[in-house]
Structure 1
Amino acid sequence: MTSTLERHMVTIGGLRVGHGPAVVIGGRVSLRPHRGQVDAREALGERATLVEPYSAADLPAIAALADAVVVGATWTRDIPLVRAAAGLGLPVVVERRPSASVEEWVGLAGYCAAEGNDQVVLCEGGRLDLGVLRAARAASGRPVLADVSRDPGLAAAAVAAGADGLVVAGPGGSGGSGASGRADEAADVRAAEEAVTLVGALLRPESPATLAECREAIDRVDAALATLLERRAALAGVVQRLKPVGGFAGRDLARERALVARMATRAPQLGEERLAAVMNAVIEAGLHLAEERARR
């Protein structure tokens, strides 16, 4: 199997995973800590996005209250439970055991498909192996999530590795509780959304089919562009302090022309003439900013 396989797309809670931009899924909940001693409906309380059962007894409640069922890494060898979970008709998120190969991981998704449920998403969690994530996505054609609940700092790297979405556990899934747990989750979700917006805009190809989707894609690119322009302006300010002659008088037009020529190799459709106009505006904005700061 290769990356040329037709890409699957699975809808989870209204989010299209595997099609278009990467997504952020919050609220992964595991019923395993309850060890079957608490009724699943009582433990969930309200609708959740991703829910991992403790046993088959939890499945009816999950069918009623969850957007997707999680085949947790700790029970991926329990094939009867895997098949029962797939039989709910919900999307199935299949986690990888830390020692499992790509073939084993993808094969487990095949058990779900054998139950007539092809709404399968692979999920890499725990200590993320981004190389395995990328390989599984290419080999299976299925969407792949990265659960960054333990280390939200890996969100950007996971998107860069090709993750179709990021999972951020809710307080019930990550062990947090109360206002502190909710605040931590909100911060983690913001970090994940930032990674999806900025890294995704730079590295994830999109083919929007509607005007709304196209505008959303443009918004992501514009957000990434604004971030890069702000960084460029800061670096340009450092250059002004280091140059013997700063400001507009110190412009190196030959270097600017060479810069535009290099950029044109990355943006041939824009070409040097259009890029020259854009970069002149960028450079002048940075110089004006540097002058304003110097006067303060």
Structure 2
Amino acid sequence: MSQTLKIEEARPLELVTGQRASAPQANTAANTAAINVDHVFKRFGSKKGDVQAVSDASLTIARGEFVSIVGPSGCGKSTLLNMIAGLMPVSDGRIEVLGKPVKGPVHELGVVFQQHLLLPWRTILNNVLLQIEVRNLNRAEYLPRAQQLLKRVGLGDFAERFPDELSGGMNQRAAIVRGLMHDPGVLLMDEPFGALDAMTRDQMCLDFHQLSREQGKTVLFITHSITEAVFLSNRVVVMSPRPGRIEEIVPIELAGERHVDIRDEAEFTRYTRHIRRIFEKMGVLKEERRS
């Protein structure tokens, strides 16, 4: 038996809660919560009957916390994010953002989607400032912030270019800047790196980790990548297949400042393996193990 296996048996992931999160986390005080999801259900009507998309989801996210949600396709991850953003009503339950009940679109949020959705006829600078125009804020006051953020993500020299002149990764960086333009306290990200090639995705992951730490935002991040979720997060929420429920919440107790080499460390591997095994138990991942 290898030393790695001996370590795992001696420490059976005591860092992991090992329980279903049917209620908000007790160690997160309600008055410090940025997002509070309380026994939320979502049903969609159809000719063949209602479809239960999200079932009894409860989650509390503290201000300044980075939380990722992982789960199989169609499990309700994006549905949950859209309900938090106020873009879709809940069927049952309650959601609060920054202490206020969600009853419609939440203007204090920033949202970044999988596709960058930049307008092709506007320059990169004008695309990120569109957020300001839509909110009827003073463009001149936010222009220095736009220029500073574009420079921070490596697009300072491309502010006057158009989206079709830039790569997918560069456009996605612009979309993240657009989401940060009005300085939201909470940022919701729905598979923002999903359409990128593997190398660009790794770089975006590194860049966004640094940027999110600098900005100090609360981030709810949806991804299909277990490695990405562990790398970025303070906690990883594991969702079951539809009807989507929160199967387990895994605290990630790694160093705050993370570098690419951390993915080679035993502690990092322990987290990713644990999350994979949750999916194996649910039948989402199936692997024939040789004796």
Say whether the fold is shared (TM-score over 0.5).
Answer: no
Structure in which a larger fraction of residues adopt helix: 1
Higher relative contact order (CA 8 A, sep 6+): 2
- TM-score scaled by structure 2? 0.34
Structure in which a larger fraction of residues adopt strand: 2
Greater CA radius of gyration, 1 or 2? Answer: 1
